[in-house]
């Protein structure tokens, strides 16, 4: 790992480039998250796993392997729907 030592400089706004040989050694892709921590008189940069994007409701539901509703739940739903349709018809909606 000592042969990975290298020098560089920062760019405008404090940006810096991590050399390709170091990124390859640690298996870092082009875009990765990192954590910067001051430690004594050094700056420590640690790669972090990217946080996944927010999970959508459809992704959560797709992972469910068992039925969410019972047959009785479904029958109750159909009865309630029929009641609502009858009420709307009575009201002329």
Please state, in angstroms and rounded to a whole number, the distance separating the CA atoms of residues 21 and 4: 7
Range of the structural domain that residue 68 is part of: 57-91
Residues 7 and 43 in one domain: yes
Last residue of a domain, one of 28, 48, 68: 48
pLDDT tens-digit profile of 41-50? 999 988 887 6
Measured CA to CA, the distance from residue 28 to residue 41 in angstroms comes to 25
57 or 83, which is more confident: 83
CATH number assigned to the domain comprising residue 43: 2.10.260
- Do residue 6 and residue 41 come from a single domain? yes
| pTM for this model (two decimals) | 0.44
Of the given ranges (7-11, 71-75, 79-83), which has the lowest mean pLDDT? 7-11
pLDDT in tens, 50-65: 666 677 888 888 888 8
The mean per-residue pLDDT over the stretch 82-89 comes to 95
- How far is Cα 26 from Cα 17, in angstroms, rounded to an integer? 15
**pLDDT per residue over 10-42, tens digit each?**
898 988 888 888 888 888 887 888 899 999 999
In total, how many domains does the chain have?
2
Instruction: Mark whether 6 and 44 lie in a shared domain.
Output: yes
């Amino acid at each position: 790992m000592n042969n990975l030592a290298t020098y560089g400089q920062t760019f405008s706004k404090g940006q810096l480039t991590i050399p390709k040989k170091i990124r390859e050694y640690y298996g870092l892709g082009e875009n990765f998250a990192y954590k910067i921590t001051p430690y004594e008189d050094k700056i420590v940069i640690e790669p972090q796993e990217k946080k996944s994007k927010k999970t959508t409701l459809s992704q959560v539901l797709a992972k469910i392997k068992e039925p969410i509703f019972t047959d009785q739940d479904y029958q109750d739903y159909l009865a309630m729907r029929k009641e609502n349709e009858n009420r709307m018809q009575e009201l002329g909606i």
